[in-house]
Chain A
């Protein structure tokens, strides 16, 4: 079984400031890691994913995340946020070992990023 913890339910930040959204996971098996963004009244959109290789992953809209296996973390960062980044952000994991079960995702409870002028 897996679980995902997003410690911050809300993160207020001023426009053009840097931001970090924290994500920690727990799993007895190797996992893939994802960050999704959800704008109001819209579906989830994939920001980035870590499957293998370099632990620093770059995604869309200037976001990046770093996989830290020893700390079981996958924090999301952006060096300079924009008003349009205001949204809910979800961290998720998927079991690497599934052979027929598809990419079932376990999500965290989300972090509301609010960018202010």
Chain B
């Protein structure tokens, strides 16, 4: 597709339920990022992939959060045993280069997760 696609757009989960959020980056993009945006806040970095390698997962808030990108394209962010504080918009972004060069990160529309 033309842009970064995320699914589902909206997800309501009961507390304790596991969820999986999908990101389809722009074709050929090497870098993929996940961000968490709580209500009224700016996005906060969760994790970064260069192709299939997860090079930075320093932003993952707990071991309940897990991300993968097994073939270097589609990525899934999984949250186990969801808690109310996990309610947020989860944004995915991709960019063409692996290094910090003159490149732009393109963002998807996000998945709004509500834990009840």
Contacts and interface: CB of A to CB of B under 8 A. Distances in A.
B102 interface: yes
B41 interface: yes
Contacts of B55: 100-102
Contacts of B110: 43
B62 interface: no
A49 B50 CA distance: 22
Contact of B99 (A51, A102, A110): A102
Contact of A44 (B41, B44, B91): B91
Interface residues of A, number: 30
A102 B95 contact: yes
Interface band, chain B: 20 to 34
Interface in B22-70: 31, 33, 35, 40-45, 48, 50, 55-56
B109 A43 contact: yes
Contacts of A32: 100
Interface of A: 4, 32, 36, 41-46, 49, 51, 90, 92, 94-110
Contacts of B41: 109-110
B18 interface: no
A103 B43 contact: no
28 contacts: A41-B109, A43-B91, A43-B109, A43-B110, A44-B43, A44-B93, A90-B42, A90-B43, A95-B100, A99-B99, A100-B50, A101-B48, A101-B55, A101-B56, A101-B100, A102-B33, A102-B50, A102-B55, A102-B98, A102-B99, A103-B105, A104-B45, A105-B45, A105-B105, A106-B45, A109-B40, A110-B40, A110-B41
A103 B45 contact: no
Given A43-B91, A49-B104, A105 B43 contact: yes
Contacts of B93: 44
Contacts of A109: 40-42
